[in-house]
């Protein structure tokens, strides 16, 4: 679902997108996405050269990216020292070509990871039966079940996405997916568009990082108070060095809905916070899911399983849960793609989590991600992945053909004790998709 604006440890209201129906029902859907748009729209323009590493180990940032950052009054050294907290409109980078996510080592320490609990979306009305298009009856709620521990044994590709927005630290969920350009060695992660970009009224979220198998042992909130970083993030913290989402999400997406909902997906290339160990994310967690962009139609799918870390009440974002249900169809907007819908009680924070079903080859594949849900927390809806999603996916994969450039850079002090920063790579000189949605 879209990220929810929730008061830390307090009650929350899930963001809900408006549902345009024949009866003019004002159903609000919750979204959680961040990404870049499809290639065919060309909204991103020419991407920059990739960030590289000099002989002395320092990160080299392309001049064109430096120039664009300077146009916004952004200095990377100042950014690492806390300027990233400045959310002035003219400094909130929005365009795809301006995605920048410098790694700040130890920014996501155990306390900050645990306390990040704001989903980026609001909920919607549960009764949307008046919608035009192909919409099946509202599904019965399916109680979310705790994922078996260790989570890595039950769902090794699942994890938590952490990021900062104007309202504070936020959370979504995400999934490790295969990289066609690097078989068996993927560093690609799938999530919702609104988990990386705020949509039409905002820009890219900051300090985006993926934690596979977050809280792998399923420790309670009380136990996590004294847990080490290794217990909370046993497979490391992986920063988003590049992100793309759909043009539709960037241009139409909103925390309260908008016509970007059926295109609420994003893909990231990630790099380890502590520098390369020679192993990819896929090799580190031991798995990556294929993505099916031509999954069977709803009548041919027996069940779908959604996994996530719900953070809005009654949940607290510290544990992974799952829902399995026979999918139905939801037409949010007439003349736009129909979405998948399942019964599920997961709340905000589960946005971006992968939906797994049998693909065309009969094997498990990622076929959607959590995007929206109602205030009653009885169902979830996710986009059906088609050519736009495949365009984003392929563009992110091709960006790093020929080698990866996410290498260790200079360490600098930040405002947080012990925090150290390094810049992630910018875009390569190849076609790019438009930038993503705003955080939940």
At 425 the pLDDT is 39
3-state secondary structure 287-355: CCECECCCCCCHHHCCCEEEEECCCCCCCCCCCCEEEEECCEEECCCCCCCCEEEEECCCCCCCCCCEE
Residue at token pair 């990021």: 163
d(CA 209, CA 163): 6
Structure tokens at 172: 């979504």
3-state secondary structure 222-290: HHHCCCCHHHHCCCCCEEEEEEEECHHHHHHCECCECCCHHHCCEEEEEEECCCCCCCCHHHHHCCCEC
d(CA 397, CA 204): 20
Structure tokens at 149: 């521990």
Predicted TM-score (pTM) of the model is 0.80
Q: For residue range 252-283, list pLDDT tens digits in order.
A: 998 765 578 899 999 999 999 988 888 999 99
Task: Provide Rg for the chain, Cα atoms.
Answer: 19
Q: For residue range 76-127, list pLDDT tens digits in order.
A: 788 888 889 989 887 888 877 778 888 999 999 999 999 998 777 655 544 4
CB 119 within 8 A of CB 1: yes
Q: Considering only CA atoms, which of 373, 326, 384 is closest in space to residue 350? A: 373
At 102 the pLDDT is 87
What is residue 66's three-state secondary structure?
helix
- DSSP E strands in 108-152: the ranges are 145-146
Q: Which residues of the chain have pLDDT under 50?
A: 2-60, 125-132, 404-440
Torsion angles phi and psi, residue 160, rounded to 5: -110, 140
Torsion angles phi and psi, residue 264, rounded to 5: -85, 75
At 409 the pLDDT is 34
Instruction: Tell the burial category of 39 from Cβ atoms under 10 Å away from its Cβ (0-12, 13-18, 19+).
Output: buried
At 138 the pLDDT is 93
Structure tokens at 330: 């939801």
Structure tokens at 282: 């896929």
Structure tokens at 155: 């769902």
Q: Considering only CA atoms, which of 75, 166, 49 is closest in space to residue 421? A: 75
């Amino acid at each position: 679902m879209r990220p929810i604006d929730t008061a830390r440890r307090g009650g929350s209201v899930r963001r809900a997108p408006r549902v345009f129906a024949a009866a003019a029902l004002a159903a609000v859907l919750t979204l959680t996405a961040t990404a870049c748009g499809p290639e065919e729209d060309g909204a991103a323009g020419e991407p920059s050269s990739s960030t590289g590493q000099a002989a002395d180990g320092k990160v080299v940032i392309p001049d064109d990216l430096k120039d664009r950052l300077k146009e916004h009054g952004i200095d990377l050294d100042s950014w690492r020292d806390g300027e990233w907290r400045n959310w002035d409109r003219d400094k909130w980078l929005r365009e795809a070509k301006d995605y920048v996510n410098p790694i700040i080592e130890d920014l996501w320490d155990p306390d900050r990871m645990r306390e990040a609990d704001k989903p980026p979306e609001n909920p919607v009305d549960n009764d949307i039966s008046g919608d035009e298009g192909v919409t099946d009856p509202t599904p019965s709620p399916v109680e979310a079940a705790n994922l078996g521990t260790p989570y890595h044994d039950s769902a090794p590709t699942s994890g938590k996405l952490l990021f900062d927005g104007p309202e504070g630290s936020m959370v979504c969920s995400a999934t490790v997916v295969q990289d066609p350009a690097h078989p068996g060695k993927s560093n690609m992660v799938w999530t919702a568009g609104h988990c990386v970009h705020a949509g039409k009224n905002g820009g890219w979220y900051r300090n985006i990082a993926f934690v596979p198998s977050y809280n792998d042992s399923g420790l309670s909130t009380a136990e996590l108070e004294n847990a080490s970083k290794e217990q909370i993030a046993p497979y490391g913290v992986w920063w988003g060095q590049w992100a793309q989402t759909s043009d539709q999400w960037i241009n139409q997406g909103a925390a309260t809905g908008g016509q970007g909902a059926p295109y609420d997906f994003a893909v990231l290339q990630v790099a380890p916070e502590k520098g390369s160990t020679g192993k990819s994310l896929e090799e580190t967690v031991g798995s990556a899911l294929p993505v099916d962009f031509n999954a069977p139609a709803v009548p041919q799918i027996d069940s779908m399983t959604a996994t996530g870390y719900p953070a809005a009440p009654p949940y607290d974002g510290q544990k992974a849960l799952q829902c399995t249900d026979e999918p139905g169809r939801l037409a949010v907007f007439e003349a736009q793609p129909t979405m998948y819908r399942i019964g599920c009680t997961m709340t905000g924070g589960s946005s971006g989590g992968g939906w797994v079903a049998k693909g065309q080859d009969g094997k498990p594949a990622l076929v959607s991600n959590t995007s929206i849900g109602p205030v009653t927390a009885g169902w979830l809806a996710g986009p059906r992945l088609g050519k736009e999603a495949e365009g984003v996916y392929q563009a992110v994969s091709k960006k790093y053909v020929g080698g990866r450039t996410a290498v260790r850079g200079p360490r600098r002090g930040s405002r947080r004790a012990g925090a150290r920063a390094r810049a992630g790579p910018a875009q390569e000189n190849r076609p790019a998709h438009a930038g993503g949605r705003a955080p939940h």
